[in-house]
């Protein structure tokens, strides 16, 4: 029988809350009827036409979860006072003045581990008919928010290093197994002074940006950076992050004169066995480095591979 295991992981504590033979050991168990722990919510606008219409903007709101828990003092290795258990549970989440980030880790046999980052959205509600010390039991309801509503899994990280002084091109193997776009995140370390040229391939999505562009015209697009002497972070301008950030906080975007990376790696592009190869050219000292990170997001807690 397949089952999912769920853990809560905080800054200085963690415990399992669900799974066969898994959720009872710490005396804090996810109860029945949690809300919004599965698929990612969205709404899609439509634009009327003479017959029917066409699709408009899609909005993906933050995720609001309602998580009921049964808390007891019955833990592996002995009995713990219920007051201590409740204090431990409260400390994991923090308070309205000092909220703590909690990792909701969902592990399934089918898809491995994926997670959300949660914050307490309102006070923890305890629904007690009498003093919990009498029964050694409490029911707590947590309302939490995930500002990134999609589940995340382990990112892909690949690295190119200049083997010797001069100009060299290295091809990095990448693949996106998810149902979501993956935005390239480049970390460039010149180890002195170096210039970098990084791949910004369109994968046929030119008209997502400009309908006058021809699909395929940016199939082999490269973005050539000016020589740099401090580390830079580089991301596509449409990712929602700053496209250029220099370690010394100098005006990196201004130096690039309006030239930006544009494209993501589309869903289901390449595989581990047959990856897409992205070139990066480094002109600089030996050891100059380009590291590419692809964070992987999913619209559900499991499946969709």
Of the chain, the end-to-end C-alpha distance in Å amounts to 21
CA 121, CA 75: separation in Å to the nearest integer?
Answer: 28
- The residue among 83, 114, 149 that closes a domain is 149
CATH of the domain at 162: 2.60.120
Length of the chain counted residue by residue:
305
Residue 1's pLDDT is 53
For residue range 188-212, what is the model confidence (pLDDT) as tens digits? 999 999 999 999 999 999 898 999 9
Is the domain of 133 the same as that of 181? no
Is the domain of 257 the same as that of 205? yes
Is the domain of 284 the same as that of 242? yes
DSSP string, 238-254: GGSS-SEEETT---HHH
For residue range 105-155, what is the model confidence (pLDDT) as tens digits? 999 988 999 999 999 999 999 987 888 887 888 999 999 999 999 999 999
Is the domain of 9 the same as that of 127? yes
Residue 179's pLDDT is 96
pLDDT band, residue 227 (cuts 50/70/90): very high
Domain count, the chain: 2
Residue 23's pLDDT is 47
CA 240, CA 38: separation in Å to the nearest integer?
Answer: 25
Burial 138-153 (b: 16+ CB within 10 A, else e): bebbbebbbeebbbbb
CA 95, CA 92: separation in Å to the nearest integer?
Answer: 9
DSSP string, 45-85: EEEE-SSSEEEEEEE-PPEEEEEEEEEESEETTEE--HHHH
The reply to whether 303 falls in a domain is: no
Is the domain of 20 the same as that of 137? yes
Is the domain of 180 the same as that of 140? no
**Which conformational region is residue 299 in: left (phi greater than 0), alpha (psi within -120 to 50 degrees), or beta?**
alpha
Give CA angle at 183 (55, 155), nearest 5°: 125
Is the domain of 78 the same as that of 197? no
| Structural domain that includes position 176 | 153-298
Is the domain of 41 the same as that of 141? yes
Is the domain of 54 the same as that of 188? no
Residue 124's pLDDT is 94
For residue range 232-274, what is the model confidence (pLDDT) as tens digits? 999 998 888 889 999 999 888 888 988 999 999 999 999 999 9
In this model, does residue 2 exceed pLDDT 70? no
Is the domain of 247 the same as that of 228? yes
The reported pTM is 0.90
Is the domain of 120 the same as that of 18? yes
Is the domain of 157 the same as that of 269? yes
Burial 258-292 (b: 16+ CB within 10 A, else e): ebebbbbbbbebbeeeebbebebbbbbeebbbbbb
- The residue among 149, 169, 199 that closes a domain is 149
For residue range 3-43, what is the model confidence (pLDDT) as tens digits? 789 999 999 999 999 886 554 577 899 999 999 999 999 99
The reply to whether 277 falls in a domain is: yes
């Amino acid at each position: 029988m397949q089952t999912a295991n769920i853990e809560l992981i905080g800054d200085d504590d963690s415990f399992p809350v669900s799974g066969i033979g898994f959720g009872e050991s710490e005396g804090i168990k996810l109860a029945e009827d949690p809300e919004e722990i599965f698929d990612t919510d969205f709404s899609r606008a439509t634009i009327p036409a003479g017959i029917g219409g066409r699709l408009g903007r899609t909005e993906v709101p933050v995720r609001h979860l309602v998580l009921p828990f049964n808390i007891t003092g019955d833990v592996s290795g002995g009995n713990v006072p219920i007051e201590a258990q409740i204090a431990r549970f409260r400390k994991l989440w923090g308070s309205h003045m000092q909220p703590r980030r909690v990792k909701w880790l969902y592990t399934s046999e089918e898809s491995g581990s994926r997670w959300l980052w949660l914050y307490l959205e309102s006070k923890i509600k305890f629904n007690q008919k009498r003093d919990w010390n009498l029964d050694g039991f409490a029911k707590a309801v947590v309302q939490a928010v995930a500002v990134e509503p999609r589940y995340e899994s382990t990112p892909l990280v690949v690295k190119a290093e200049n083997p010797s002084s001069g100009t060299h091109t290295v091809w990095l193997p990448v693949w996106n197994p998810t149902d979501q776009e993956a935005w390239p995140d480049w970390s460039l370390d010149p180890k002195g002074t170096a210039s970098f040229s990084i791949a910004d391939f369109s994968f046929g999505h030119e008209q997502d940006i400009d309908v006058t562009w021809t699909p395929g015209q940016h199939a082999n697009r490269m973005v050539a950076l000016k020589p740099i002497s401090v580390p830079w972070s580089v991301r596509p301008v449409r990712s929602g992050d700053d496209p250029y950030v220099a370690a010394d906080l100098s005006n990196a975007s201004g130096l690039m004169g309006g030239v930006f990376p544009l494209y993501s790696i589309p869903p289901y592009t390449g595989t581990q066995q047959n990856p897409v190869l992205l070139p990066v050219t480094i002109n600089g000292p030996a050891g100059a480095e380009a590291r590419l990170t692809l964070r992987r997001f999913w619209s559900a807690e499991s499946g969709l591979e």
